[in-house]
Amino acid sequence: MTKIIIIGSEKSGKTTLAAKLGKKGTVADFTMYDFAKSGKVLTTIDATGYPTAIKPMMAGLNLSDIAVLCIPPEGLDLYSGECIIALDLLGYKHGIIVLTKSDTSYPFAIEELKEKITKLTTGTALENWEYISVSTTSFEGMEELKEMIFDLGEVVDKELEELNELPPRVVVDQTFNVTGIGCVVLGVVDQGIINAKDKLIAFPTDKQIEIRSIQLHDVDAKTAPAGARVGLALKNVQSKDVERGFVLSQKEEVTEDLTLKCHFTPFSKGFAIEDVPHIFVGLQSAPMRVEKILVNGEEVKRTTTEAECMLTLSGSKLLAYNGSDRFIICNLDEKQRFVGYGYMA
């Protein structure tokens, strides 16, 4: 099961491409497209709410293993730049850079654009990503793109297999109530293997739940491994008590306040005491107030891009995380809204 997200600037051909890769399924602030044939299953997310909002893209990136970055012949712009920064801050491992609408460009122009992007992404998480130019009109490159996706999917599957040994953890992206069944959640098994009848806790609340049944692409299953996109019917909980971003697992840290060891991008203005950045962890996000900034052990009034900053943040929303989770720091007032990342100190 390969899960990809298509991102990029406005009108770069994202939705047209997604529609060519599968059949339209669930629609929320992102749209899912499903494809299943000869044992290959592909879920494609089109983060339709982006660039107006960054939440749908962050959710989609967390629910996927491979990012497909679309760049049209017009070249890079503010939002493709922002996507590159977001991918880099997340340390996003796998992706493909797709030069779209190749039927409206020329080979030399495509080559020039590729060189430009290569330069810009040197030293970022995208450094070694492969390029392909495609057209959804002439179908040029489409079969190769699918092959690239499934090849990369196999690499991802091997990595995911190793996560099966870890304790089970499911991130929830949608919840609803089904008459006669009760609370149903959709999400992805982040690590471990889940089984029907498993008892887990719905974090950040402390609610004990039981997995009543599991579905993989609408087919009943007894168990689901790391990386699986699942539908779960839950016992002991109502759909109104579980929301996007909830984590079903045995143990998570839960907090309203954070102390993060952070790094900021050189493009960001940074933050001063009392500023209110948006903090993302997994599919959760919350505005949080800067209480204290330490650089090299000294208290300062403003963050710097030159050194690690220790940021004390206070919030009023419970967030669930574990020690290895990466927090992404955003400033919704800046042009490039993704400004830094950090780990719990």
Contact footprint for ligand GTP (CB under 6 A) = 10-16, 100-101, 103-104, 135-137
Task: Kindly state the smallest distance separating residue 53's Cβ from ligand GTP, in Å.
Answer: 13
| 5 sits in which H/E element | strand 2-8
Task: Kindly state the smallest distance separating residue 2's Cβ from ligand GTP, in Å.
Answer: 21
The site partner of 296 among Mg ion, ligand GTP, none (C-beta below 5 to 8 Å per kind) is none
In the complex with ligand GTP, the residue whose CB is nearer, 8 or 225, is 8
In the complex with ligand GTP, the residue whose CB is nearer, 31 or 249, is 31
Task: Kindly state the smallest distance separating residue 69's Cβ from ligand GTP, in Å.
Answer: 11
Q: Are 289 and 276 in contact (CB under 8 A)?
A: yes
| 243 sits in which H/E element | none
In the complex with Mg ion, the residue whose CB is nearer, 9 or 191, is 9
The site partner of 191 among ligand GTP, Mg ion, none (C-beta below 5 to 8 Å per kind) is none
**Residues contacting residue 111 through CB under 8 Å, at least 6 positions apart:** none
In the complex with Mg ion, the residue whose CB is nearer, 51 or 270, is 51
Task: Kindly state the smallest distance separating residue 7's Cβ from ligand GTP, in Å.
Answer: 9
Q: Does 205 bind Mg ion (CB under 5 A)?
A: no
Q: How far apart are CA 292 and CA 167, in angstroms?
A: 35
Q: Which of residues 1-60 bind Mg ion (CB under 5 A)?
A: 14-15
Task: Kindly state the smallest distance separating residue 54's Cβ from ligand GTP, in Å.
Answer: 14
Cβ neighbourhood burial of 248 (10 Å; 0-12, 13-18, 19+): buried
DSSP 135-188: -TTT-TTHHHHHHHHHHHHHHHHHHHHHHTTSPPEEEEEEEEEETTTEEEEEEE
The site partner of 12 among ligand GTP, Mg ion, none (C-beta below 5 to 8 Å per kind) is ligand GTP
* Cβ neighbours of 83 (radius 10 Å): 26
Q: How far apart are CA 68 and CA 4, in angstroms?
A: 7
The site partner of 263 among ligand GTP, Mg ion, none (C-beta below 5 to 8 Å per kind) is none
| DSSP conformational letter for 131 | E
The site partner of 100 among ligand GTP, Mg ion, none (C-beta below 5 to 8 Å per kind) is ligand GTP
**Residues contacting residue 210 through CB under 8 Å, at least 6 positions apart:** 197, 198, 199, 200, 234, 235, 236
Task: Kindly state the smallest distance separating residue 34's Cβ from ligand GTP, in Å.
Answer: 18
Strands 199-203 and 253-255: unpaired
Task: Kindly state the smallest distance separating residue 258's Cβ from Mg ion, in Å.
Answer: 34
In the complex with ligand GTP, the residue whose CB is nearer, 54 or 226, is 54
Q: Which residue blocks in the chain are alpha helix, DSSP H?
A: 14-21, 55-63, 78-90, 107-121, 142-163
In the complex with ligand GTP, the residue whose CB is nearer, 10 or 159, is 10
In the complex with ligand GTP, the residue whose CB is nearer, 56 or 340, is 56
How far is the CA of 240 from the CAs of 157, 184, 234, 246, 301, in angstroms?
Answer: 33, 11, 12, 12, 41
The residues of the shown chain that bind Mg ion, judged by CB under 5 A, are 14-15
